[in-house]
């Protein structure tokens, strides 16, 4: 499902070029769970943004189901993100002015789902992560752990075929974290591929396999 082929991503800091990813290649099969590990600054989050079509590789390609999404129009890439890919961002990326359920329902809105159905599915997703009683709360009225659970619910509400999670349990207590990671990894039973950035060895051990990045390269 996912083919990363000699991917390079560079950034410029003043006159200096920084290689966040340097010649990274690997594949992920459908319904496979993959842990992405490595120290801070090793390129893990950059890799997720490339796979999720949020950013374009500097050179080479990332292919989804055999297609390079950067050969498609912006509209088609947006539809892929809305209908096929779930994101759990480390920084949550919730919209402050929207209630919890409306944040969760956003991907469904972009996918063209009717409002009543959007609300029904969003509330169900919040109930699944233990926040059914917080659905009307704004992000500012939630704890960091609750915001993380809203972000997880938003990622899962579309039943994605690909879920990308950047440290999804970082702000959660152990019990909630175990429940959330169990839900995320259970998506493989529906045929979804799941990529999880984590420093937690216990979470990595639950995945089918893991890769490790070091200074933008795959570690042996």
pLDDT of residue 72: 94
Could you give the C-alpha distances from 23 to 7, 39, 46, 61, in angstroms and in order? 5, 18, 13, 10
The fraction of the chain above a pLDDT of 90, given in percent, is 79
What global pTM score does this model have? 0.91
pLDDT of 132 over the 90 cut? yes
pLDDT of 14 over the 90 cut? no
Element (H or E) spanning 18, and its range?
strand 16-28
pLDDT of residue 176: 87
Question: What average pLDDT does this structure show over 12-19?
Answer: 86
pLDDT of 36 over the 90 cut? yes
Q: Residue 107 sits in which domain range? A: 2-218
pLDDT of 9 over the 90 cut? yes
pLDDT of residue 74: 93
Three-state secondary-structure class, residue 108 = helix
Distance, CA of 81 to CA of 97 (rounded, Å): 22
How far, in whole angstroms, is CA 25 from its chain's centroid?
19
pLDDT digits (tens, 9 = 90+) for 205-220: 999 999 999 999 999 8
According to DSSP H, which parts of the chain are helical? 44-51, 74-84, 100-110, 115-128, 144-156, 174-185, 201-206
pLDDT of residue 22: 95
Chain mean pLDDT for the chain: 93
pLDDT digits (tens, 9 = 90+) for 96-120: 999 999 999 999 998 889 999 999 9
| Bridge partners for 211 per DSSP | 36
| Residue 91 confidence class, pLDDT cut points 50, 70, 90 | confident
Per-residue buried b or exposed e for 8-47, using 16+ beta carbons within 10 Å of the residue's own CB:
bbeeeeeeeeebbbbebeeebeebbbbbbbbeeebbbbbb
The domain that holds 119 is classified in CATH as 3.40.50.300
Q: Could you give the angle at the alpha carbon of 63 between the alpha carbons of 57 and 68, nearest 5°?
A: 75
pLDDT digits (tens, 9 = 90+) for 180-189: 899 899 999 9
Let me know: does 60 contact 11? Beta carbons within 8 Å.
no
pLDDT digits (tens, 9 = 90+) for 139-152: 999 998 899 999 99
Distance, CA of 152 to CA of 145 (rounded, Å): 11
134 or 110: which leads in pLDDT: 134
Least confident interval from 34-38, 47-51, 171-175 = 171-175
Domain count, the chain: 1
């Amino acid at each position: 499902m996912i083919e990363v082929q000699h991917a390079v991503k560079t950034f410029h800091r003043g006159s200096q070029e920084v290689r966040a990813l340097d010649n990274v290649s690997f594949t992920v099969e459908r319904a496979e769970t993959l842990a992405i590990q490595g120290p801070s600054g090793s390129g893990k989050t950059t890799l997720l943004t490339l796979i999720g079509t949020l950013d374009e590789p500097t050179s080479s390609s990332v292919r989804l189901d055999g297609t390079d999404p950067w050969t498609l129009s912006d509209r088609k890439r947006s539809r892929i993100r809305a209908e096929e890919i779930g994101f759990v961002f480390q920084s949550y990326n919730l919209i402050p002015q929207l209630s919890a359920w409306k944040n969760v329902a956003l991907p469904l809105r972009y996918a063209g789902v009717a409002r009543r159905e959007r609300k029904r599915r969003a509330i169900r997703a919040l109930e699944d992560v233990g926040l059914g009683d917080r659905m009307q709360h704004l992000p500012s009225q939630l704890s960091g752990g609750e915001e993380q659970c809203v972000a997880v619910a938003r990622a899962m509400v579309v039943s994605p075929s690909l879920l990308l999670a950047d440290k999804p349990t970082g702000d959660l207590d152990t019990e909630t974290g175990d429940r959330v990671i169990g839900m995320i990894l259970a998506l493989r039973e529906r045929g979804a591929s799941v990529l999880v950035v984590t420093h937690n060895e216990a979470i990595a051990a639950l995945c089918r396999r893991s890769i490790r990045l070091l200074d933008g390269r795959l570690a042996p």
